[in-house]
Structure 1
Amino acid sequence: MLSIGEFSKICEVSTKTLRYYDEIGLITPDEINPENGYRFYSIRQLKKMLFINRLKSYHFSLEEIKAILNAEEDQSEERLGIALIRKRMEIQRRADELQYTLKRMYEDIVTLESGLPVMSYYNRIDVQLVETKKVAIVSKRQVLSRDDYAAGYGAYFSRLYETIASEALTLLGTPMTIYHSTEYNPAGNDIEFAIPVREAVDGTRELPGGLCAKAVWKGAYSELTSVYAKLREWTEQEGYILAGLPYEVYVTDPGQAAAFGDIVTEVYVPVRKK
């Protein structure tokens, strides 16, 4: 048996953390002295603690680790494999985001060295006034947080494509999202995932056409706030007011883009003259 101090030293986990892991049922001492409360761990628990440390190094939360440890024995390897694949995809996405951030920082440094302000990119966002046509859409409306939206983007559109296939509908364009919330809420926003189709049938609805301020953005979705700011500035300067729900059309499938900088998104804001 190993004292909590010895176990802590070998696994490089503080005794305070070990006590917390005991409280949440992640790993509990094999033996506790009833007289003095001293905690002891068995040699076999070393491997379990090392496994927990390994999963933590992969950025699994304690809740996720606990679920993996508590899986039925005949399902444990399968669940671990699925969890590792998902976590790897999540970390790869973060790594891509960091790489894109580094690229932007480099561009800002070059911009400053050229004697231009960092925000000069904002003035290069081109706004056009366009007339859009009404179109039928297959859609699903959901209240989602930013993280939920990012994680579920593919899943929601996949379900819509399944509906289109089962109903034998004809695609008319690429996926889009329509934003129903009047303000930003970190806890969740009212978002409608939609795909335009030719047929107006039960289960579809009409997206009205009309006058729109439109801008095209090539880059990460996280930077679309600059596009919306520019569109709002343009409408104010040109004497227009908002006349409907803003929406985004995803010209490029993010899964097919080689990098964040290759993603192309069209942003539309319905407007009318004051």
Structure 2
Amino acid sequence: MFKIGEFSKLMQVSIRMLRYYDEQGLLKPAKIDPFTGYRMYSTEQIPRLQEILLLRDSKFSTTEMKAIMKARQEIDLRSELEKKKIQIEKEIQLEQDRIEKINHAVKELKDRKFQMYCNINYKKVETFWIISKRERIPTYFHEGLLWKELCAFVEREHIVISQNIYNNVAIYHDREHKDHDVDVEVGMLVTTPGKEKDGFTYRQVEPIDKMAYAMVYGPYSNLGNAYEQIAYWLESHQEQMAEKPSRQICHIGEGDGVSPEEYLTEIQIPLK
């Protein structure tokens, strides 16, 4: 089972929203520790959370969500989604992305095919030096701006980047998933430290004796499903997350001149 912060990070849903779903009776914790009061969650709750998020993203109100979830019949959920689809199609063109998401979700609910595109295992990660930029950014989607700043600084200062198996890392310092004001650090591996300047820092990244990692193939949209798969893997292997930042490494990405289907991203979760 997972503490609320751990479940938040793996499911990419903020603690605030998990507590709200608890208060509204949509998703109660699987267990509450009688001594600490900690809310505990299980992988068995992931499908229900997925349906809640689907309804939320499809503009269903909390009252509507309660009624649909109470029915607990897939055919009812599909029917309600189709009604919402018709409603959205009458709205402005900016809603087109939302309609496509509903179409995709309805197909998944009908076929029950939640396909994964990742391999999961664990390994030991040694310490390494990076030149990095760490900031609180509005959302995770703004991470690219940090990378642009870092790459420009590296090029301007003629910094030599390590040509190892990989040469980059993103470190997520928040202990939970957050929708806004996220603490992100982006770094590029170097062989030797240099002089800090303009908010760019040289530092050694902490070694991890036991790191769960997932090699995720395909577009970045696969990452959300990969985190869910990691949750199943951790519980089935009776592993516990350490209270340390998670990481991501881009092995093949948009800067490599390949199609999104050829991307390769590594997710790393420190374990106890």
* Deviation, structure 1 residue 168: 4.6
Q: Is the 8 A contact 2:172 2:183 kept in 1?
A: yes
* Deviation, structure 1 residue 265: 0.4
* Deviation, structure 1 residue 171: 4.5
**Unpaired stretches in structure 1, ≥5 consecutive residues:** 1-97
Secondary structure of the residue aligned to 1:187 is: coil
Letter in 2 for 1:209: P
Look up the match of 1:247: 247
Look up the match of 1:158: 151
Letter in 1 for 2:258: A
Secondary structure of the residue aligned to 2:256 is: coil
Look up the match of 2:207: 209
Q: TM-score, normalised by structure 2?
A: 0.51
CA distance in 1 between counterparts of 2:190 and 2:163 reads 5
Secondary structure of the residue aligned to 1:225 is: helix
Secondary structure of the residue aligned to 1:118 is: coil
What is the root-mean-square deviation in Å for CA atoms of aligned residues? 3.1
* Deviation, structure 1 residue 162: 2.7
Look up the match of 2:184: 191
Q: Is the 8 A contact 1:127 1:231 kept in 2?
A: yes
Q: Percent identity?
A: 17
Residues paired across the two proteins, number: 165
CA distance in 2 between counterparts of 1:130 and 1:266 reads 12
Look up the match of 1:117: 112
CA distance in 2 between counterparts of 1:150 and 1:140 reads 11
* Deviation, structure 1 residue 185: 2.7
Letter in 1 for 2:204: E
CA distance in 1 between counterparts of 2:155 and 2:240 reads 37
* Deviation, structure 1 residue 178: 0.3
Structure with higher Rg: it is 1
CA distance in 2 between counterparts of 1:237 and 1:155 reads 39
CA distance in 2 between counterparts of 1:135 and 1:151 reads 22
**Unpaired stretches in structure 2, ≥5 consecutive residues:** 1-96, 196-200
Letter in 1 for 2:121: Q
* 1:138 paired residue among 131, 140, 162: 131
* Deviation, structure 1 residue 209: 2.1
Mapped pair 1:174 → 2:167? yes
Secondary structure of the residue aligned to 1:241 is: coil
CA deviation profile, 1:52-88 (whole Å, cap 9, x unmatched): xxxxxxxxxxxxxxxxxxxxxxxxxxxxxxxxxxxxx
Query: Greater shift after overlay, 128-137 or 231-240?
Result: 231-240
Look up the match of 1:234: 233
